[in-house]
A and B are shown apart, each in its own frame.
Chain A
Amino acid sequence: MLQTFFNAEIISKAWPIILAGLGNTVLLSVVVVPLGLLGGLALAMLASVRKPWVRWPLMAWVDFFRAFPPLVLLIFLYAGLPFAGLELGGFACVCIAFFLNTGAYYGEILRAGIDSVPAGQAEAARSTGLGRFQTMLYVVLPQAVRNVLPDLLSNTLEVVKLTSLGSVVAMPELLFQARQAQSLTYSPTPIVVAAIIYFVLLWPLVRLLSRLENRAQTALA
């Protein structure tokens, strides 16, 4: 069993390949998380204009991309757009798909956060002479982010996990590299190693989230 799933010889052979994949996964996450946050922030700021003709289309946009499996979006960009003469490459496709998909999720979370800040805060800030933008940046957003921090972190965990979809469009990230190593070595060990790396990488975040969620619960009770 150990010989099959955790073979030391194969680990040492596959290690450089897997390590390169890990590097790319980290790099991809570092690009894609801020991208999604940016998209979400834009959506949430727009939604803070409390007008129905702004909110409804935004809600439709958010729900549209929440209803769409990210992999479908990714395949559409990667395999569909070339038919329109637009060949973007795996990395660009992943970026666009994540911007649209995770942006919608982040947007929904940040909107809830902004809604949770009492209107009096913004009014007080405006009356001291701060501009609309300054009020948002210095008064509303810091409180909004604090109020929804567990949800933001939880979504970020999902985004990092989602980078494994890159393997489908030949991005050489952790899962893709592990599959490469698997077919080179005819052994499932590289996949097990990749899974362990994901777990070790993300477990602290999962633990932290569990504690934050529990704390929120006791605060309610």
Chain B
Amino acid sequence: MSNWDRFVETFFNAKIMAKYLPDIAYGMLVTVELAALVIVTGIALGLALALLRSLGFRPVNWLIIFVVDLFRALPPLVIIVFIYFALPAVDVAPSGFVSTWLSLMLVLTAFSEEIFWAGITSIPRGQWEAARSTGLSYGQTLVSVVLPQALRLTIPPLTNRTIAITKGTALGTVVAVSEILGMASSAVSNSYNPSPLTLGAGAYLILFFPMVVFGRWLETRMAWKH
């Protein structure tokens, strides 16, 4: 057997791949589920916090800034480990799935709040004043005048950040979530062959490569024309 054959036999073993394909497919499902939950809740919370911040209550804003800073500074894995391994000490014991979801949600909330806030503050004051002087209420000004302009600015950075954070679903494997990496790792130790890991890598590429390319496309399309 040549070296190449041995390499293929080891990393691209068709028989083993076929055997563990359903496992990896299941893992993909869990990853997609987790990712969708993180994206929807994280971005919704981030937007809510940015809107709350635009009301301008000083103490509330300080609290928001602190929370945002906290979850920008802490590594997501540290938050996952804290929720999963430390909280049970006070009889709160979320599952691995919930721990991963909560932690990535908090991280995405922090980053998206920053991005939304930057978008909102980038709208000149005059726009607010003009809209209010035509008789629009605060809420109407926000929804019909400021947000449409602000959101356009936020889409490219938000997309890229969301992709980066969503990739963190792989961290769930540390707390025994049966997402792609977790399924692949246990398949490797059951089969004594790394092919399931190759399969898992392929699954990640199928999920995330189109997103990365889409993010790049958005970035060039919506870039500021200098």
Contact = CB atoms under 8 A, between A and B. Distances in A.
Interface stretch (B41-49, B135-143, B205-213): B205-213
B185 A75 contact: yes
A53 interface: no
Looking at chain B's contact residues, the main secondary structure is helix
Interface in A151-187: 157-158, 161-165, 167-168, 175, 178-179, 182, 187
Contacts of A80: 11, 188, 194, 197-198
Given A203-B69, A210-B69, A213-B114, A182 B85 contact: yes
Contact of A72 (B11, B85, B200, B224): B200
B77 A69 contact: no
Interface in A62-106: 63-64, 66-72, 75-76, 79-80, 83-84
A200 B216 CA distance: 34
Contacts, number: 141
A57 to B, nearest CB: 14
A175 B89 contact: no
Contact of B118 (A5, A179, A217): A217
B1 interface: no
B64 interface: no
Interface in B74-117: 74-79, 81-82, 85-87, 89-90, 114
Nearest to B122: A217
A63 B170 contact: no
Nearest to B213: A63
A190 B196 CA distance: 35
A75 B180 CA distance: 12
Contacts of B174: 168
A195 interface: yes
B64 to A, nearest CB: 12
A63 B209 contact: yes
Contacts of B204: 67-69, 72
18 contacts: A5-B90, A64-B209, A66-B212, A67-B167, A69-B208, A72-B200, A80-B197, A83-B193, A84-B7, A157-B72, A161-B75, A163-B75, A175-B75, A175-B78, A182-B85, A206-B72, A214-B121, A220-B224
The 6 closest A-B pairs by CB, nearest first: A188-B86, A69-B170, A161-B75, A67-B208, A80-B194, A164-B75
Given A66-B212, A72-B170, A203-B69, 15 more contacts: A63-B209, A67-B205, A68-B167, A69-B208, A71-B173, A71-B181, A80-B197, A161-B74, A164-B78, A187-B89, A188-B86, A202-B73, A206-B73, A210-B69, A220-B224
